[in-house]
Structures are given as structure tokens and as C-alpha cells.
Amino acid sequence: MVELKRTGRVVVVGAGMAGAQAALGLRRGGWEGRISLLGDEPHRPYDRPPLSKNVLLGQADSTAFDIDWDHLGIDLLPGRRALALHPGVLHTDGGELPYDGLLIATGAAPRPLPGAPGARLLRTLDDALALRDRLRPGLRLVLAGAGWIGAETATVARQLGCEVTVVEAGPAPLAGALPEPVGAAMAGWYAAAGVDLRCGVGVLAAEPAAVVLTDGTRLAADALLVGIGARPATGWLAGSAVELDPAGAILVDDRLRTTAPGVWAAGDCVSYPSARSGARLAVQHWDHALQSGGAAAAAMLGADVPYDPVPYFWSEQFGHMVQYAGRHAGADELIHRGSPEEASWSVLWLRQGALVAALSVDRPRDLNQAKRLIDRGVVLDRALAADPSVQLKAAAAGPGA
């Protein structure tokens, strides 16, 4: 285990939530040396979830973190792109940065869509501001992907009077995250909002005023936005001592240490071992960035605590609050808690009787209680768990209850 001197220099690569939390955690945790926080965008560190909500709606022009970096003595280096990594030295397009400890939090980049190289993406503040300028009543917007970003952007675009079509290659919304019957229960939200949802078909090509689908359909379009997932932004680590998995995620241990001495990683770019899940997890959501950034800072300061929280994320779409906690697998038992035809409902996943994941729609109490039950590995009484009139915690029937 590498011991860092608290008077040395730490460089944090990536100025999103994970990087910001790591830099903040280091200083507040007693790091006395120099801390440099660099990001490849020209902006001060900022929060990303509001980009597809408040920024697109025109309710905010900036989502910068309310942190007094100067008071904390943290050097901000915006507009600096990491190029390569060698022991003790980070190479950037603005010169070399020597370090005693390094934290990588470069996040994930949206996957481009083959056949549509000029399509819009939504990852950065500049992306959001540029798209906002286009979202006007009557604009014909085509969204590739009915995932979280697609649903949230479609929601805002309809509020602004755009004509919206969402194209999803999978059989239902959120096909990559949820079983088809669960995702299909959300399809009605699109129709109710006036969105044309087309599942089972993809985008083949983009033309100046149209989008061509894989079934030959040509949709009139003024703009195409792609939201088909993201991949770790780790290409610059090629040839370094930092080992990546086949998908490009940084392999870290349960203390968020990479395979390179003196180098830790956090946020959307990592794959970490989860004892509770019995597998490695690559989580690309805000809560993971928040928690892992702080955990990496603590580890750099000498804490010996494994990182293994209950994964959690949320999405606001079509007037609904959708929340998910845990991690399910295809073989897990699925229990419906209420009906999707009702105003609010939840879905639970059990493994050998124990709750391992939960999805809630407008039932925040279910989700909050589920997180605690998942954390403790509690076995549930199936009949009680399926009854939405019974508090979920009252369905606890086994160990950890």
C-alpha cells in the first residue's frame, strides 16, 4: 500500500462531481500539500444532472458547484486535457504536472451514433446551452435512445413546444437497464406527453432535414440528439500502468486504488468489486460519483474502508420521479408492488428471498426503505412486500430485519 505524505502534491484529473468531491475531501480531511483540480472544459467544476432539466428549460445558465476553491487553496486548471500518464507525471496539453498522488475522475463520454456523425450529444454545459437555443415551438426533434437522457430531454422538449420522436432499438424504454415488461409500463408516458415513441427500430443515417430509420422510414427532423449510453473516458491511459477492463473502465480494488502505484480513481470511469453484488460494478450515476469521490479522498488519506454502497439513481421524466436502488440480475425474482396503471407503483427484485434491488415510481418512501433493506440483505415476506398498503420495512421477515 502506497503511503502518501500529506505535504505532497495531489493532482485530480476530472472536474465533475467525483473529482470535485475528491479535492474537497482531501482538503477537509487534512491534506496540507498542493491540490490541483483540472478538467478538459473551460468552465469551473459543475454539476451535470441539471443540464437535461434546469439548463434546457432556461432556468439556469450555470450549474457550478458553490465551493470557494480559492479559500480552500485548491488550484483550478480548467481547459486542460490529460494526454498520457507516466509514473509521477501527468502529461497534459498544457504541459507536465508532477504528482505525489493522482486521482482519476474523467467520467464517461456519450457513445456516438454510427451513420450520424453530426448528431448532437448532451454531456457538457456547452452541449446543453447549444441545444437550448434550438428548442423552440414547432422544432422537429428526433431522439435516438429511450434511456434516462432521452426521456428527460423529451420531457423538456415537449414542455417547450417541440415535436418530439424518440427512436429506441430495444423493445421498450430503458431496455438496457430494466426488464422489458417494466420498461414497457413506461411507454404510455410518452404518448400522454405527445411524444411519438418507436421501439424495435434504430437510426440508420442522418440527412440535412431528415433521419432515416433501419426499417426504411424517413422522419422529417430539424435536429437529432443521441442518447445511447456512454463509455469511460479513459483512452488517454493507453500504455500506462493503469489497467482497464474490456469496456475501458479503470479496474480498481475495494479501496479505489488502481494498478498503478499512487493512483486512485472514482466516478463513472471505474469498475469496482462489490461484495454485496458478488461482481464488479461500473456505475454511471450521480450518487456513485458523489460517494466514490469522497471515498477515494479518504483512501488517499489512509482510511482502510471498503467502498461498496448500495447503487442508487433517479430520473425525473414526464411528471414522474423514477428511482432505483441496488443491482438486479435476470434470474432474480420479480415482485410488483402495485400496478403500473395506478398513479404510483414499485417493483422489487429478490434473490433467495432477500431484497437486492427496487424501482419506484412516485413512491419515495418505498425506495428509501428499500435502500436500507438491501444494505442489510433482509429477506422479505413476499405477500407483504407485494401489498402497496403495507410499508416495505414491515415486510422484513428474515436476517437483518
244/99 same-domain check: yes
94/148 same-domain check: no
Q: What's the confidence (pLDDT) of residue 114?
A: 87
145/214 same-domain check: yes
Tell me the three cell numbers of residue 254.
475495494
What is the tens place of the pLDDT at every residue in 184-208? Answer: 999 999 999 999 999 999 999 999 8
Domain's final residue, options 174, 209, 226: 226
305 found inside a domain? no
CA distance 98 to 85: 10
Task: For strands 333-337 and 345-351, give the pairing.
Answer: antiparallel
Task: State yes or no: pLDDT of 34 exceeds 80.
Answer: yes
53 found inside a domain? yes
Name, in order, each residue with C-beta under 8 angstroms of 372's C-beta and a sequence gap of 6 or more. Answer: 393
Task: State yes or no: pLDDT of 19 exceeds 60.
Answer: yes
At 244, which amino acid appears?
Answer: L
| CATH number of domain containing 176 | 3.50.50.60
Q: What's the confidence (pLDDT) of residue 2?
A: 60
Task: State yes or no: pLDDT of 399 exceeds 80.
Answer: no
195/132 same-domain check: yes
CB of 53 within 8 A of CB of 47? no
309 found inside a domain? no
What is the tens place of the pLDDT at every residue in 294-304? Answer: 999 999 999 99
Q: What's the confidence (pLDDT) of residue 289?
A: 97
Q: Which position has the grid cell 479501496?
A: 255
Predicted TM-score (pTM) of the model is 0.95
Which residue range is the domain that position 73 belongs to? 10-109+230-300
Q: Which position has the grid cell 404510455?
A: 188
**Total count of domains within the chain:** 3
Task: State yes or no: pLDDT of 5 exceeds 90.
Answer: no
At 232, which amino acid appears?
Answer: P
- For 376, the 3-state DSSP assignment is helix
Taking residues 231-252, what's their average pLDDT? Answer: 97
213/249 same-domain check: no
Q: Considering the chain, what percentage of its residues have pLDDT values greater than 70?
A: 98
Domain's final residue, options 166, 191, 226: 226
37/24 same-domain check: yes
361: β partners: 322, 345
Q: Which residues of 120-154 are buried (b: 16+ CB within 10 A; e: fewer)?
A: bbbbbbebbeebbeebeeebbbbbbbbbbbbbbbb
239/217 same-domain check: no
75/131 same-domain check: no
CA-to-CA separations, 294 to 46, 52, 69, 103, 256, in angstroms, rounded: 16, 25, 16, 11, 11
CA atoms within 13 A on the CB side of 39: 20
350 found inside a domain? yes
Taking residues 75-97, what's their average pLDDT? Answer: 97
306 found inside a domain? no
Tell me the three cell numbers of residue 323.
428511482
244 found inside a domain? yes
313 found inside a domain? no
Q: What's the confidence (pLDDT) of residue 183?
A: 96
Read out DSSP for 309-367? PPPEEEEEETTEEEEEEE---TTSEEEEES-TTSSSEEEEEEETTEEEEEEEES-HHHH
Backbone angles phi, psi at 301, to 5 degrees: -85, 0
Taking residues 130-135, what's their average pLDDT? Answer: 97
What is the tens place of the pLDDT at every residue in 206-224? Answer: 998 999 999 999 999 999 9
81/164 same-domain check: no
What is the tens place of the pLDDT at every residue in 312-354? Answer: 999 999 999 999 999 999 899 999 999 999 999 999 999 999 9
Task: State yes or no: pLDDT of 106 exceeds 70.
Answer: yes
Q: What's the confidence (pLDDT) of residue 166?
A: 98
- Helix orientation angle between 286-300 and 17-28, rounded to the nearest 10 degrees: 30
CA distance 195 to 188: 10
184/264 same-domain check: no
Name, in order, each residue with C-beta under 8 angstroms of 32's C-beta and a sequence gap of 6 or more. Answer: 6, 7
Q: What's the confidence (pLDDT) of residue 115?
A: 82
Give the pLDDT band (50/70/90) at residue 4: confident
Domain's final residue, options 197, 226, 255: 226
Q: What's the confidence (pLDDT) of residue 6?
A: 85
93 found inside a domain? yes
100/234 same-domain check: yes
Taking residues 136-141, what's their average pLDDT? Answer: 97
74/211 same-domain check: no
Taking residues 180-186, what's their average pLDDT? Answer: 95
Taking residues 141-164, what's their average pLDDT? Answer: 97
